[in-house]
Structure 1
Amino acid sequence: MDSSIPSETPSTLNIFSLNCWGLKYISKHRSARLTEIGKRIAALNPPPDIVGLQECWTGADYESIRSLTSHILPFGKFYYSGAFGGGLAILSRWPVEESNMVRYPLNGRPGAWPIRGDWFVGKGVACARIRYGRDAKDIVEVFCTHLHAPYEPEHRDSYLCHRTAQAWEIARLMRHATERGHLVIGLGDFNMRPKSLAHQLIETHGHVRDVWREVHLDSSLGSTEDELERNRGRPVPSADFNITENGATCDSILNTWRWNKDQQKRLDKGEDILISESDLDPHAKRLDYIFFGSGESTVAGNAASQSPWRVKSTTVGMTERHPTLHCSLSDHFSVAATLTRLPSSSPSSPSKASHRADQGTGSVSFLPVEVYTDILTITSTYTARERKQGRLRLYHFLVQIGVSVGCLVAVWWSPHNYVAFILMLVSTLGLSVGVVQGLMGGIFNLWEERGLREFKWEIERAKEAAKAVETSEKEI
């Protein structure tokens, strides 16, 4: 047995997750900030056992963090995906026995480049199987991810369908891990609000729980501008309340990368601007999560045994600024959690679930039928939109062929060489754009539509199963 594996199963597990905002050539002060992030991780107390990083795009930044944290996190994996990499990394106190990168079937559109590069980075799930003890069941499966960015308000977010489908994919991976009887940790920047469609899918179909809501059940459901939170009629929270109670990791007034241009300029001049934690913070929200599930709570049949793991604490961190640059370390704050392992004889309450049905392979949870109906409506609306876009791209391709041929014919009657050059240039550039549009309309849109069909079929099946459960419950 590997000497790096402890002889006794640890009684606590410390988890840490951070979106580092480490885009090469784009993120300001990238190298200095990520180096400081590595130092701060190394100084955490208690030291983390498992760390998940997002938007750590370059191998150099990853190696910098690895070298600074190697004394507490000697094992790790940097994940490669897409044309530019998925930006995901996992660090661990214990050996990584197995690892793979699972690409999302639905992940944005190539035509959105260069403003929106989700498709090109190949977003997915970084998976790692880590052994933390010598018992056969002392395995934790870690799933680190960064879901598609929203870019627009949720009520008109054209990527909501993709992000919901991605939540379904990672939920499936986590559910399979719980069915193997392993401890499951899902962490990362999920770009979703608490109790949103994606959040509900992950908790219910992933057989996992949101650690923050385990401790802070009454925490916010978004910023004060979000409909779900606005309907609760709560007062605008302070920055400190958002950090300590609501778990806000993004858009906080305490984060310098969310400041206005005037404040940014003052900061660039070396002025250390102070923001009071008691100031109202209406825009802050929670986008970064840690989910956990114990395989022992989902076993064959309805007689589920009790989970030995419980959430002891959870915190938002990395709120302090860089010591010399005076800027925030990232445009997100970190989230951390400590899990405790209960003695096998300790009583515990059964895990929460919406609906359960024994299907012979385990205790399967379902959401209310209307939730699946909403997802199917979103999927159908998006599919119709993309079919229309695909036809327009193909029409553009055909029109561009005509324009290109017309320019080439016009060259024969060109009175001057410079006119012929312009016509040839227009023909070449126009045909190039047309070919790209034709490829997207004829190949990518078909590729995307087939992914949507698979997702729709799976949601329809879940809806029928949920309907059967509701019917049986009414009969009882």
Structure 2
Amino acid sequence: MEPPPDEINIITLNCWGLKYISKLRRERLTEIGRQLTLAKPQPHIVALQECFTQEDYQSIRRQTRSILPHGKFYHSAALGGGLAILSRWPIEESTMRPYPLNGRPTAFWRGDWYVGKGVACARIRYGPAAKQVVEVFNTHTHSPYEAGKPGDSYLCHRTAQSWEMAKLLRGAAERGHLVLAVGDFNMTPMSLQHQLISSLAPVRDVWRVLHPDSSVGPAHHPAEKARSRPVPTAEFNILENGAASDGPTNTWRWTKAQQKQLGRGKSPVAVSPDTLDLRGKRLDYIFAGSGDISALGGGWVVKRASVGMMMRHPELGCSLSDHFAVEATLAFHPFQLPATTPLLPNKDNNPDPLPSHLKEVTNGTYLHSPSPSSTHLPPSPPSPTVQLTSFLPRSNPPSPPEEGLPATTYTTILNLIETYTARERFELRWRGHHFFLSLLTTTACLVAIWFPPHHYVGFILLLVSTLGLATGVVNGLLALLFFRSELKALREFEWEVRNASGTLGVGTEGGDGEEW
């Protein structure tokens, strides 16, 4: 086996490869494969999301085989999760872990439940030593269809999914492996979901390591507006804020009239870097750990983070996806632990998980204290030694109810669970009642068929009974199979949160809640 590398280059990209829906899918994903082979620095690990078809995956594999000879396409649910991992080094082990809360089959027009979203896990060996292993966790969480709206019914899904990701990362880190969590997380920086991962697992958002003062959402987001910063330009949002989604330089965010200017044989359409960017934001992330510092004689630190794959299709003139890629380079930094491991003085001096200059607000988002933009000086990124030191144990550890997250954050999560549980209990009862009502209606219609004065009345009654029974059976099956299982998953989630917060008490350990 080749000697272990000094650097690991990572790329994560949402390919927008939905079959029958994504425009110019084959042409774009073929070009994505070609551009991966030309990328500088050359990638060692590539994570893809929304690569739904074997045709597209094989096309990318054929083109990247010379630099990324190992790969895995992950299968899940009826339509597949669209996740794939490519690697320079062998994949020793892989698993597809579905999320316990993962959308609703009743929202069939959204499709999240049907693709079986989850975490694609791969254990990759980059060196011969026992701990020279990287565990990659690639995901595409539930889409935020109702984000920002009162009663967002999918907020509980994304929160539970971040919780599950943090559990997987903790387990891998406890094995002493380098941990990478990559993908489209459908969350904004420093949001509740972001904090669950960065606070409950020993990983770091690589972008915020190098850009600790970057934005916490698009310009119109309440959390970002509270920072009193000017509206960023397209260039600033890419270079400083890492906004790989929804920016004006991505042609798939243009109006239909603007997109008509693109195509074969047409002149390229440029976007000024000074264009104000109101919507650009971060949804795609790379979270990284350090590896076992003691066993490796050092650890992995963040050297580079950037937005990539911004080039246009050479013939079509369009962007290669509706997201840009997020790229990062991790460098190995020797670090000798002294005989007595120095502990960090306190939590406030530790850059992660909750820096001292971050303030908690009631909605679970953490913000930088606002400062006038004219006098604002962005903080310098931490040195490699500081990055590794922050992974060491702290002195004066907090008591269990405060460890990792503030107590109010656990309360926020429990409130989300309670609200969503009430919604699903109502849905279960309503659909169960509809099933029994359809049985009564069908029976009544079949009896009434014997007494109609005209034949067409009998036909109408038969049609109504058939349709009524069909919809009733569907709702009955949903109540029996889906809503019951989802309520049990919510009970599990609630138990884990209460257990982690230290509030688990009598009467919260058993039972399945109200059921019909």
Q: Could you tell me which residue of structure 2 aligns to residue 295 of structure 1?
A: 291
Match of 1:253 in 2: 248
Q: Which amino acid aligns with 1:150?
A: P
Are positions 1:384 and 2:422 aligned together? yes
Counterpart in 2 of 1:136? Answer: 130
Instruction: Indicate which of 277, 282, 287 corresponds to 1:286.
Output: 282
Q: 1:459 to 1:355 in 2, by over 3 A?
A: farther
Query: Where does residue 390 of structure 2 map in the other structure?
Result: 351
Question: Within 5 A, what are the aligned runs for 1:162-173?
Answer: 162-173=157-168
Alignment of 1:35-54 (within 5 A): 35-54=30-49
Q: What is the CA–CA distance in structure 1 between the aligned matches of 2:407 and 2:6, rounded to whole Å?
A: 39
Q: Which residue of 2 aligns with 1:208?
A: 203
Selected match of 2:139 from 145, 160, 176: 145
The equivalent position to 2:117 in structure 1, one of 111, 119, 123, is 123
Separation in structure 2 between the aligned mates of residue 307 and residue 239 of structure 1, nearest angstrom: 38
SS in 1 for 2:106: helix
Residue 305 of structure 2 is matched in structure 1 by: 314
Match of 2:353 in 1: none
Q: Is the 8 A contact 2:303 2:328 kept in 1?
A: yes
Aligned residue among 248, 266, 272 for 1:276:
272
Query: 2:297, 2:336 within 8 Å by CA — same for their partners in 1?
Result: no
Match of 1:470 in 2: none
Matches of 2:49 and 2:413, distance apart in 1: 27
Does structure 2 conserve the Cα–Cα contact (< 8 Å) formed by 1:179 and 1:298?
no
Contact 1:177–1:295 at 8 Å: present in 2 too?
A: no
Give the aligned residue type for 2:59. S
Residue 425 (str. 1) matches residue 463 (str. 2): yes
Shift of 1:269: 8.5
Relative to the length of structure 1, the TM-score reads 0.90
Aligned mate of 2:178, from 177, 183, 187 = 183
What is the letter of the counterpart of residue 390 of structure 2? S
Would you tell me which structure has more helix in proportion to its own residues? 1
Is the Cα contact below 8 Å between 2:49 and 2:84 reproduced in 1?
yes
1:145-177: per-residue Cα shift (whole Å, max 9, x none)? Answer: 111111012343211101111111111111111
Name the structure 2 match of 1:401: 439
Of residues 190, 204, 217 in structure 2, which corresponds to 1:222? 217
Question: Partners in 2 of 1:206 and 1:408 — Cα distance?
Answer: 60
Give the aligned residue type for 1:225: H
Question: By how many angstroms is 1:284 displaced?
Answer: 0.8
- CA gap of 1:445–1:217, structure 2 versus 1, over 3 A, is same
Distance 1:297 1:436, change over 3 A: farther
SS of aligned partner of 2:502: helix
Percent pairwise identity? 57
Q: What amino acid is aligned across from residue 273 of structure 2 in structure 1?
A: E
1:406 positional shift: 3.0
Whole-angstrom distance in 2 between the partners of 1:96 and 1:67: 18
Q: CA deviation at 1:407?
A: 2.7
Where 1:341 maps in the other structure, the secondary structure is: strand
Equivalent position of 1:328 in the other structure: 319
In 2: Cα distance, 1:190 partner to 1:353 partner: 27
TM-score (norm 2): 0.83
Q: Match for residue 91 of structure 1?
A: 86
- Going from structure 1 to structure 2, the CA distance change for 1:290 and 1:282 (only over 3 Å counts) comes to same
> How far apart are residue 233 of structure 1 and its match?
1.1
Can you list the C-alpha shifts for 1:58-97, whole angstroms capped at 9, x where unaligned?
A: 1111010000000000001000111111110000000001
Write the deviation string for residues 452-472 of structure 1: whole angstroms up to 9, x where unpaired.
111111111111289xxxxxx
Q: Which amino acid aligns with 2:319?
A: S
Residue by residue over 1:234-268, the C-alpha shift from the partner in whole angstroms, topping out at 9 and shown as x without a partner, is 11111111111111111111112112232234436
Q: Judging changes above 3 Å, is the alpha-carbon distance between structure 1 residues 111 and 414 closer, same or farther for their aligned structure 2 residues? A: same
Output the CA distance in 2 between the equivalents of 1:437 and 1:31. Answer: 38
Counterpart-to-counterpart distance in 1, 2:78 and 2:199: 33
CA distance in 2, matches of 1:140, 1:166: 21
Aligned counterpart, 2:478: 440
Indicate whether 1:73 and 2:68 are aligned. yes
Q: Give the secondary-structure state (helix, strand or coil) at the position aligned to 2:61.
A: helix
Q: Distance in 2 between matches of 1:163 and 1:426?
A: 40
RMSD between aligned alpha carbons? 2.4
Contact 1:251 1:285 in 2 (8 A): yes
Query: 1:120 and 1:247 mapped to 2: Cα distance?
Result: 31
Matched residue SS, 2:292? helix
2:502 maps to which of 458, 464, 470: 464
Greater shift in the superposed pair: 426-435 or 451-460: 426-435
Alignment deviations for residues 107-150 of structure 1 (CA, whole Å, 9 cap, x no partner): 0111110x111111111111111110111211101100111111
Partner residue, 2:20 = 25
Contact 2:206 2:305 in 1 (8 A): yes
AA paired with 1:320?
Answer: M
The number of aligned residues is 452
Q: 2: CA distance between counterparts of 1:406 and 1:356?
A: 73
SS in 2 for 1:150: coil
Q: Tell me: CA distance 1:454–1:174, structure 2 relative to 1, closer, same or farther (3 Å).
A: same
Q: Secondary structure at the match of 2:31?
A: helix
How far, CA to CA, are the matches of 1:168 and 1:270 in structure 2? 49
Give the direction of change, closer, same or farther, for the CA distance of 1:382–1:443 in structure 2 (3 Å limit).
same
| Structure 2 Cα separation of the partners of residues 354 and 247 of structure 1 | 30
AA partner of residue 470 (structure 2): S
* Alpha-carbon distance between aligned partners in 2 of 1:143 and 1:9, rounded to the nearest angstrom: 21
Cα distance, 1:186 vs structure 2: 0.7
Letter in 2 for 1:209: R
SS at match of 1:145: strand
Check conservation: 1:139, 1:183, Cα contact below 8 A.
Answer: yes
Return the alpha-carbon distance in structure 2 between the equivalents of residues 54 and 365 of structure 1. Answer: 33
